[in-house]
Structure 1
Amino acid sequence: MKAKFILAAGLLLLALPGYAERIKDIANVQGVRSNQLIGYGMVVGLPGTGEKTRYTEQTFTTMLKNFGVNLPDGFRPKIKNVAVVAVHADMPAFIKPGQSLDVTVSSLGEAKSLRGGTLLQTFLKGVDGKVYAIAQGSLVVSGFSAEGLDGSKVIQNTPTVGRIPNGAIVERPVASSFSSGDYLTFNLRRSDFSTAERMADAINDLLGEGMARALDATSVQVSAPRDVSQRVSFLATLENIQVEPAEESAKVIVNSRTGTIVVGQNVQLLPAAVTHGGLTVTIAEALNVSQPNALSQGETVVTSNSTIGVEEDKRRMFMFNPGTTLDELVRAVNLVGAAPSDVLAILEALKMAGALHGELIII
């Protein structure tokens, strides 16, 4: 029954007729992207849920030195309200200095919880090693943990990860190639030669022949004005053009862990026969006790009597004719009464036999 529901869902989702989408929904503009930032910092003010590792002490000592406080040689501070953390954020395209970013703070050491803590000023760097934002503020932690004296522990969600809404201020912009050059390039989110060609044709229908050309299965290059203000309005027009994406190639996608099976619209079968059956073997043990007569010298003996039953499920064999469609495949597999794991075995056997017209992908 589960296999029937999953395969039927695939039929409903993937057998729909073609439909048009906006360019902004199927492609990105080359050079317009977010950038990842990361930093190493310290959270203070924890209610005894911090850590006392050597690198935490070193970080704490270094911070004090930056403020002109020098600890005696050999002195090891006893701190339980401090934790070292990794701070990361995504910096969107075109964000300007002075604007804010949300940041995520994660414990790096043995801290039990970051709840109630405050992140001290932390530099967030890009892949080039330059500082692009500075983060600081009070953490919002959804999880919590509690531990008893007997070692019992209760943990809800993840108490060692928190967020700071608008916790970072951008200090440096990221250079973009959007306003340079004579072209704009769209990159499809799902590479397909047919879709790229259709996009170029749709743009040429609006702007004129030769304005756009498909470079490969992913990129479509469009001639664009050099003036930045004109380029913005030009792009606003382009990204709302309707394009009908090409149909996906024939695929059967199987999640072996969850048993989810999705069959694509164009999947067909060559002539093949499929049978599905099972052999059930049951063994029942019965103990017989032989009790001797009271006047005899015999001993009590326990013997076992094994009963073995064999039951074979009677299943039908199905014949697939040339050009069998998705609908016929779904109906046949459901009639066999196969579970998701059995359906996977059937699909693999059909693929090995060369009868499955489509790509079998197991994730």
Structure 2
Amino acid sequence: MQTTTEKLLRLLISLTVVAASAALWWPLSSQAARIKEVAAVQGVRANQLVGYGLVVGLDGTGDQTTSTPFTQQSLNALLQQMGVTVPPGTTMQVKNVAAVMVTAQLPAFAQPGQTIDINVSSMGNAKSLRGGTLIATPLKGADGQIYALAQGNLIVGGAGASAAGSKVQINHLSAGRVPEGATVERAVATPLNQGEFLQLDLNASDFSTAREVARTINAKMGADTAHAIDGRVVRVRMPASPDARVGFLADIENLPVELAAPSAKVVINARTGSVVMNQTVTLSACAVAHGNLSVTISTTPVISQPSPLSSGGTTVAKEKADITIKQEAGALIQLPASAKLADVVKALSALGATPMDLLAILQAMKSAGALNAELEVI
């Protein structure tokens, strides 16, 4: 007679078997993402800032002013602002100064008094910016207005040394970074509180995603709240109060959206030989023959000298070249129709081709209609 413990143990084993088998036949759920991951609010974005300045305090690794006259001009202008007058025609050999470009991104909703990170890059022939200090540099936007003021000590993630014609360098020395090195002086207006509607711009154009985003918002916030205008734009009706708008966006940006499978695409980088494909790429049945052709050229020097007892003549140096062409046999391999990414990878691996060879093979398969995917070469 079975005890209660044995009955519970058998029940747990049965449930485990059912759960394991369900993983095999239960359909996989669709790919899900939040609205904030597939769309952005129009107008809520970062703005690029740029400025020109000087880095001082370098250990003799600054610009050589004979080759970069703009560094001397900038230094003269800076000294004049400080009340120091340099006699005309004076050539300064200041190796502790470097002319730089300063770039930064002004985040959305940034307010005066807040700080942002800046990047500093050399414009001239400075050997290193390590240990330098950026002098106060105004950062301007695309409209020419000053939005931030940058200044601070540079952090350069490299090191180097040179002596007697030898040089050792680790990483890059002509660019650095100043964390929180700029102070925001002016805010950029955003359309968040303007008008009755707000526009959501999808990261990628897709009609099914636009429809699903609008459907999800309407299901949560009420009918006719969102409308899909096209494959990339969803127009949303917003509350009148600014405080209510912030809460409204906080609610809808975390709503889950069921995304359709992406279109099949194979991306090929012709410069590096990289081949990347997504999960929807499939193959039709085809046959591929692949072989290698190599050409080898070897050069041997041949020296012709006059005989020892000859009265004249000169030594003649020539080269003898041997050219060999070798073609490896390429077997005809049949690739079956594949509906899964793992099968596609296995079939292409069976060819034994290098990534550079796959560039030509995939293009030929696309032309033959065997590759069911969009081919993009970057």
- TM-score norm. by structure 1 comes to 0.82
Supply the distance in 2 between the matched residues of 1:20 and 1:309 (Cα, whole angstroms). Answer: 55
Counterpart of 2:279, as a letter, is Q
Uncovered stretches (5+) of structure 1, i.e. residues with no partner? 1-15, 285-305
1:125 equivalent to 2:140? Answer yes
User: Which residue of the partner structure matches residue 253 of structure 1?
Assistant: 267
Q: 2:250 aligns with which of 229, 232, 236?
A: 236
Deviation for aligned residue 1:279: 6.3
Distance 1:128 1:279, change over 3 A: closer
**SS at the partner of 1:96?**
coil
Deviation for aligned residue 1:336: 3.0
The root-mean-square deviation of aligned C-alpha atoms, in Å, is: 2.7
Supply the distance in 1 between the matched residues of 2:193 and 2:126 (Cα, whole angstroms). Answer: 46
- Would the aligned equivalents of 1:125 and 1:131 in 2 still touch at CA under 8 Å? yes
Uncovered stretches (5+) of structure 2, i.e. residues with no partner? 1-27, 299-321
Counterpart of 1:34, as a letter, is A
1:101 equivalent to 2:155? Answer no
Supply the distance in 1 between the matched residues of 2:162 and 2:267 (Cα, whole angstroms). Answer: 44
Supply the distance in 1 between the matched residues of 2:210 and 2:153 (Cα, whole angstroms). Answer: 47
Counterpart of 2:365, as a letter, is L
Q: 1:161 aligns with which of 148, 162, 175?
A: 175
Deviation for aligned residue 1:125: 0.5
Supply the distance in 2 between the matched residues of 1:138 and 1:173 (Cα, whole angstroms). Answer: 25
Cα distance per residue 1:59-108 (max 9 Å; x no partner): 11111111222222222223111111111111100011001111111111
Supply the distance in 2 between the matched residues of 1:282 and 1:58 (Cα, whole angstroms). Answer: 57
Q: Which one scores higher on RCO, CA 8 angstroms, separation ≥ 6?
A: 1
Deviation for aligned residue 1:251: 1.2
User: Which residue of the partner structure matches residue 50 of structure 1?
Assistant: 62
Supply the distance in 2 between the matched residues of 1:282 and 1:109 (Cα, whole angstroms). Answer: 45
Distance 1:47 1:31, change over 3 A: same
Q: 2:97 aligns with which of 61, 64, 82?
A: 82
Deviation for aligned residue 1:21: 0.8
Supply the distance in 2 between the matched residues of 1:63 and 1:162 (Cα, whole angstroms). Answer: 22
Q: 2:160 aligns with which of 123, 145, 149?
A: 145
Distance 1:314 1:42, change over 3 A: closer
Cα distance per residue 1:228-265 (max 9 Å; x no partner): 10100010001010001221111122233443323333
Identity %: 49
1:179 equivalent to 2:193? Answer yes
Cα distance per residue 1:321-348 (max 9 Å; x no partner): 5x76544433332333333233322211
Distance 1:309 1:243, change over 3 A: closer
Cα distance per residue 1:271-305 (max 9 Å; x no partner): 53323344679999xxxxxxxxxxxxxxxxxxxxx
Supply the distance in 2 between the matched residues of 1:94 and 1:77 (Cα, whole angstroms). Answer: 44
Deviation for aligned residue 1:351: 1.2
1:116 equivalent to 2:128? Answer no
- Would the aligned equivalents of 2:35 and 2:252 in 1 still touch at CA under 8 Å? yes
- TM-score norm. by structure 2 comes to 0.79
Cα distance per residue 1:145-199 (max 9 Å; x no partner): 3221x22222221111111111111111111111111112111112211111111
